[in-house]
């Protein structure tokens, strides 16, 4: 193992305290800090020390793919790290978004190749499923709720212009696509008035509270109303949200560890000043009710938990060691990234031993052996899933 230095992304919705507090830096920070990236994504690769200089993990993978990735990973994913581990810290709502499945990403990337960069939906040929585990209480919007519930919630605002949307929702899941299309294609002046009317309606309850919060952050944005079609969930530390392809979602606030397939393919559905391609979003979305988006941890060994997902791009394990269990061994094949979230931990996979404090990370190659974690504290370990 060796120390891994990840860049911080300064998006406007980020926190001025979350990541800095984790790493023991002064707060508030000068800029919002939204994400700490721990991987080899070309958009913001992490780095390791080499002869007194920082070297991009991307360059190391290209130079020594067999050592870092292993034959199986190279055969399946090429000379790239197929997963990206992040720390995410949100103080404001993110954009509503969804991601394509592998076939959609491959076809979309090929079709977009001739377009100007600003008009492309697919910047790479990869899918982007995501798993987020809460480090603090987190609130999010995730997947469509029962459209009958959404229709009742929207009707309570008493806005006549919403009647066509209510009619679509009352037909059941089959009407979700039409409801979303109507909301996202409403002419701008009327849309702004409709959003304002909903946000100012004398209605109490969680839906009214959400509408007011989102409208304050994104005045006139149709995503304010689309958000009311989704499940609003709160997860506690250790609980997770699994976001497969076609799942419309957004984080509202909180801090968590996120692992995803290493892709930048995002189709937005509102709550953003960025481009929204309604036709492509509607083609990618899965218009089905997601009854329970929350995933609990599964204990796989003393001190080790995971959140199984049906993809082979990544796996995520949580390791906890203390005075009663001072060392844990985690069998791994392939590259791995370890993030310490609390305490002081020694990590060793046979290629080197590294001591980590909170907010520090280490990376190990496929050529390494089992991962040994000792000390006192908690770590999250990102790796490739079982290659099928």
Q: What is the pLDDT of residues 263-322, one digit of tens each?
A: 999 999 999 999 999 999 999 999 999 988 899 899 999 999 999 999 999 999 999 999
With a cut of 70, say whether residue 387 has pLDDT above it: no
Least confident of 29-38, 92-101, 322-331, 378-387: 378-387
Q: Quickly state the pLDDT bin for 189 (edges 50, 70, 90).
A: confident
Task: Write out the H or E segment, with its range, that includes residue 127.
Answer: none
> What share of the chain in percent tops pLDDT 70?
99
Quick check: 388 pLDDT over 70? Answer: no
Residues near 367 by Cβ (< 8 Å), separated by ≥ 6? Answer: 66, 67, 68, 70, 351
Q: What angle do helix axes 188-200 and 206-217 make, rounded to 10 degrees?
A: 130
Mean pLDDT of 167-188: 96
Helix (H) or strand (E) holding 298: strand 298-301
Alpha carbon distances (Å) from 278 to 52, 175, 350: 49, 16, 50
pLDDT at 90: 98
If you average pLDDT over residues 335-350, what whole number do you get?
A: 97
How many Å apart are CA 307 and CA 232, to the nearest integer?
21
- Return the DSSP state at 326: -
Q: Is the peptide bond before 375 cis (omega within 30 degrees of 0)?
A: no
Nearest-angstrom CA–CA distance, 357 and 342: 7
pLDDT digit string, tens, across residues 216-264: 999 999 999 999 999 999 999 999 999 999 999 999 999 999 999 999 9
What mean pLDDT is reported for the chain?
95
How confident is the model at residue 385, as a pLDDT? Answer: 87
The predicted model gives 45-56 an average pLDDT of: 95
Find out whether 162 and 168 touch, Cβ atoms under 8 Å: no
d(CA 40, CA 331): 22
pLDDT digits (tens, 9 = 90+) for 54-93: 999 999 999 999 999 999 999 999 999 999 999 999 999 9
Compute the CA torsion angle 276, 279, 282, 285 (nearest 10 deg).
-70
Task: Check: CB of residue 169 under 8 Å from CB of residue 147.
Answer: yes
Is the C-alpha dihedral spanning 11, 14, 18, 24 positive or negative?
positive
* C-alpha to C-alpha distances, 158 to 3, 215, 236, nearest whole angstrom: 57, 17, 34
Rg (CA), the chain: 22
Could you give the percent of the chain with pLDDT greater than 90?
A: 95
Predicted model pTM: 0.95
pLDDT, residue 292, reads 87
Average pLDDT over residues 137-160: 97
Q: How large is the average pLDDT for residues 124-135?
A: 97
Catalytic residue IDs: 268
Average pLDDT over residues 161-176: 97
Residue 134 near residue 294 (C-beta atoms within 8 A): no
At 118 the pLDDT is 87
- The angle, 0 to 180 degrees and rounded to 10, between the axes of the packed helices 147-155 and 176-185 is 40
């Amino acid at each position: 193992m060796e120390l891994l230095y990840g860049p911080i992304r300064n998006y406007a919705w980020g926190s001025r305290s979350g990541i800095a507090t984790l790493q023991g830096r002064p707060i508030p920070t000068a800029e919002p800090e939204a994400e700490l990236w721990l991987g080899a994504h070309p958009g913001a690769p992490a780095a390791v020390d080499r002869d007194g200089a920082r070297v991009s993990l991307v360059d190391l993978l290209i130079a020594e793919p067999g050592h870092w990735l292993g034959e199986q990973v190279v055969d399946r994913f090429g000379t790239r790290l197929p997963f990206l581990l992040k720390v995410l810290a949100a103080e404001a709502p993110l954009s509503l978004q969804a991601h394509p499945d592998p076939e959609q990403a491959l076809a979309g990337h090929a079709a977009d190749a001739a377009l100007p960069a600003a008009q492309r939906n697919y910047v790479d040929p990869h899918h982007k499923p995501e798993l987020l585990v809460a480090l603090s209480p987190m609130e999010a919007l995730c997947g469509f709720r029962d459209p009958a519930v959404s229709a009742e919630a929207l009707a309570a605002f008493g806005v006549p212009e919403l009647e066509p949307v209510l009619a679509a929702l009352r037909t059941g899941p089959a009407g979700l696509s039409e409801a979303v299309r109507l909301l996202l294609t409403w002419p701008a002046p009327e849309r702004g008035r409709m959003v304002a009317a909903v946000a100012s309606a004398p209605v109490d309850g969680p839906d009214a509270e959400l509408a007011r919060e989102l409208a304050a952050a994104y005045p006139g944005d149709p995503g304010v109303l689309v958000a009311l079609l989704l499940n609003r969930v709160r997860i506690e530390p250790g609980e997770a949200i699994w976001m497969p392809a076609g799942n419309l979602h957004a984080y509202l606030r909180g801090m968590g560890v996120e692992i995803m397939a290493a892709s930048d393919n995002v189709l937005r559905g509102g709550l953003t000043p960025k481009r929204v391609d309604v036709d492509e979003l509607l083609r990618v979305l899965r218009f089905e009710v997601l009854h329970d988006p929350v995933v609990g941890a599964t204990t796989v060994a003393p001190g080790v938990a995971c959140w199984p997902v049906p993809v082979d791009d990544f796996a995520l394990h949580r390791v906890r060691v203390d005075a009663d269990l001072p060392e844990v061994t985690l069998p791994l094949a392939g590259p791995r990234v370890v993030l310490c979230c609390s305490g002081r931990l020694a990590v060793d996979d046979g290629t080197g031993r590294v001591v980590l404090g909170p907010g520090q990370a280490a990376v190990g190659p496929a050529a390494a052996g089992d991962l040994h974690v000792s000390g006192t504290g908690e770590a999250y370990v990102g790796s490739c899933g079982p290659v099928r």
